[in-house]
Amino acid sequence: MPLSPWSQALLHFTLDGQENVPSPPPPGYLDAVMDQDTLEDDSAANEYLPTSYFLDHSISPTSLTSMGTTKAVPQDAVFLLKHYASAVISLMTPLRHSKTPWHVLFIPHTKSCLAGLVLGDHMTDASLCAFYGTLAISAFSLGGVSGFRTWSEKAVIYKHKAQRHARMMLATAYNVPKVAKYKSILMALLTMVQVTMLSGNRRESEYYFVEAEKFVRLRGLPRKKSRKVRLLHHCYVFERIIHESIFICGANSRQRHHVHAAIETSGLGNYSLDSLSFRLSGWKNLDQEMMRVRGKEEGENDLHLERPGFWSNTLYPEIFGIPEPWVILLSQVIRLGKEKDATEADDASNCISLKEFSGRAKTLEDYINKLPLPSLDHIPSELDREIIKNMLNAMQNALAIYFYRRIHDVDSSLLQQKVAGVLDHLLRCEDTDSTVVHGSAGFIWPAFIAACEAEDSLAQVSFSDWFVNSARRSGLSCFTETLANIQRIWQEKTSANGKSVTWLDLMKSTMPFQQLF
């Protein structure tokens, strides 16, 4: 079956990454060269989109038309993919080099899916899940940026398509022989994590995080890991640990118990060098442990960073601009917090002693407060170095705030200096480059942790402005919904006639914890 000139050029774009896509064919041409049954009916499309509009946020979906593609190819796919590549990636990573997982894996994979759909190739559910999930993220962003409700409606449609393919993918993910490649399935799961997080639904994020953990432990840890696989594993772990720091009420969920049981009975659990429940390992001297060199197996298979140590082949700085020891420290605070929760729940049978808890807490506190900033000389761009430096300073202050709230539950008045530190570095970063929405976890997590503790009215206004500006420039609801929850915390503190109410209290009581951040 011959392809239209526009479809041939579309393939050129998807395969070669060209910036210019020609105008679509005239009305009626497509019917003459392609089977009518393969066309996608899209009532929202009734005009033709000029090439020059591809990155114009003022364009609504109703401006897009049937562009000579097959049934499975949405008519706005190229437009959305270009917006994702040019505007959305800064929400995943603060680094702007071309070797991030999104440049190396996610975007090429989505382009490959698009090319396959144009050619009418058979596509796996994993590939279609990643494809529609990426379009959903981009459409959610465009809906907020442009103000066109139709983009948001299309985002929901694409998200539902991605979820449908995710369900079918997971139904066969462990089949032998395998139905889809390991990287394809993991990219699909990570895309669904991104879709649900950026659209503000932590309940759904939790589901995909746990499914990703199961898949990595059963199919990823036992295998030889290429650099691309390790990039994907690092993406999963970093976002999972950030998620785990907030999602403290999910430890006993039915899904987690089911997944942990499946891992333990699979015969493959021995490949996991960390516990499945985010509990502490047996370290005593943290200073010595953090200097201990981790071997290749431990570096790759201590999935959730249970064991402190140094691994030269870590990829966190390259992907997120954050040293692995910082991520390890957050993991240790999460684990110590779970020990505290278990004690408070009268589950003392598996808990460490009070003496050991106090000793570890003191060691973590000292280490966090003395945490040195890494050298940034390897980053060639002065602008990028300034952005990363401010992000790391904000992250360090937020890590200390999180420790004091999660472990010692101190009065907020004792945290205001560090709250001001986070705010100062967020605003400095915005002043450095206000054209990019730095919404990766390295920014939004410190903003959330610090803003919840802010007591000064001017600081609260500044935090609010930061979230509002980020929401306006990114178009994503995760910023506005996070701000709404922060404002609710501020309101609860006022109505409680005191300042003892914290986000932890509200999470455990009235607030739907899945939606907190």
Distance CA 190, CA 187 (A): 5
Q: Are 239 and 193 in contact (CB under 8 A)?
A: yes
Give residue 512's pLDDT band: very low, low, confident or very high (50, 70, 90).
very low
Which whole number is the average pLDDT over 432-458?
86
DSSP state at residue 22? P
pLDDT, residue 331, reads 97
19/242: higher pLDDT: 242
Q: What is the distance of C-alpha 235 from the center of its chain?
A: 8
Which whole number is the average pLDDT over 476-482?
91
Instruction: Please name which of 91, 177, 175 lies closest in space to residue 138, comparing C-alpha atoms.
Output: 91
> CB within 8 A of 367, min separation 6: which ones?
286, 287, 290, 329
Q: How many residues are present in the chain?
A: 517
pLDDT at residue 40 tops 70: no
pLDDT, residue 48, reads 27
Which of these ranges, 35-39, 64-68, 179-183, 451-455, has the smallest mean pLDDT?
A: 35-39
pLDDT, residue 430, reads 86
Full DSSP string of 161-185: HHHHHHHHHHHHTT-SS-SS-HHHH
424/503: higher pLDDT: 424
DSSP state at residue 43? T
Partners of 293 in the β-ladder? 310
DSSP state at residue 35? -
pLDDT, residue 35, reads 35
Distance CA 418, CA 420 (A): 5
**Global pTM?**
0.87
- Tell me the angle at which helices 182-198 and 125-146 cross, rounded to the nearest 10 degrees: 20
pLDDT, residue 417, reads 98
Distance CA 325, CA 283 (A): 15
DSSP state at residue 293? B
pLDDT, residue 252, reads 75
Give residue 262's pLDDT band: very low, low, confident or very high (50, 70, 90).
very high
Measured from the Cβ of residue 222, the count of other Cβ atoms closer than 10 Å reads 15
Give residue 295's pLDDT band: very low, low, confident or very high (50, 70, 90).
very high
pLDDT at residue 96 tops 60: yes
At residue 310, the 3 state secondary structure works out as strand
Which whole number is the average pLDDT over 141-161?
95
Distance CA 488, CA 482 (A): 10
Q: What is the distance of C-alpha 297 from the center of its chain?
A: 25
> CB within 8 A of 28, min separation 6: which ones?
none
Q: Are 72 and 123 in contact (CB under 8 A)?
A: yes
Which whole number is the average pLDDT over 130-159?
96
The structural domains of the chain, with segments of one domain joined by +, span 1-191, 200-371, 373-517
Instruction: Please name which of 457, 504, 218, 189 lies closest in space to residue 334, comparing C-alpha atoms.
Output: 504
Which whole number is the average pLDDT over 180-184?
97
Partners of 310 in the β-ladder? 293
Instruction: Please name which of 321, 322, 318, 299 lies closest in space to residue 310, comparing C-alpha atoms.
Output: 299
Distance CA 20, CA 416 (A): 50
> CB within 8 A of 137, min separation 6: which ones?
84, 88, 155, 191, 194, 195, 198
> CB within 8 A of 36, min separation 6: which ones?
none
Percent of the residues in the chain that have a pLDDT greater than 70, as a whole number? 81
Full DSSP string of 312-378: TT--HHHHHS--HHHHHHHHHHHHHHHHHHHHHTT-GGGPPPHHHHHHHHHHHHHHHHTPPPPP-TT
Residue 230, exposed/middle/buried by CB under 10 A (0-12, 13-18, 19+)?
middle
pLDDT, residue 384, reads 86
Which whole number is the average pLDDT over 422-448?
84
Q: Are 448 and 197 in contact (CB under 8 A)?
A: no
Residue where the block lists tokens 């999460």: 334
- Report pLDDT digits (tens) over 12-34: 555 555 444 433 333 333 333 33
Give residue 247's pLDDT band: very low, low, confident or very high (50, 70, 90).
confident
Longest Cα–Cα distance of the chain, Å, equals 80
pLDDT, residue 45, reads 32
- Report pLDDT digits (tens) over 463-473: 999 999 999 98
Distance CA 320, CA 235 (A): 9
pLDDT at residue 124 tops 90: yes
pLDDT, residue 497, reads 64
Q: Are 300 and 381 in contact (CB under 8 A)?
A: no
Which whole number is the average pLDDT over 301-320?
95
Which whole number is the average pLDDT over 268-286?
90
Measured from the Cβ of residue 287, the count of other Cβ atoms closer than 10 Å reads 11
pLDDT, residue 316, reads 96
Give residue 55's pLDDT band: very low, low, confident or very high (50, 70, 90).
very low
Which whole number is the average pLDDT over 255-263?
95
pLDDT at residue 332 tops 70: yes
Both tokens of residue 245?
């720091």
pLDDT, residue 67, reads 41
DSSP state at residue 265? T
CA distance to 66, 88, 133, 350, per residue, from 45 (Å) = 7, 24, 21, 60
Q: Are 319 and 238 in contact (CB under 8 A)?
A: yes
Average pLDDT for the chain: 85
Q: Are 185 and 169 in contact (CB under 8 A)?
A: yes
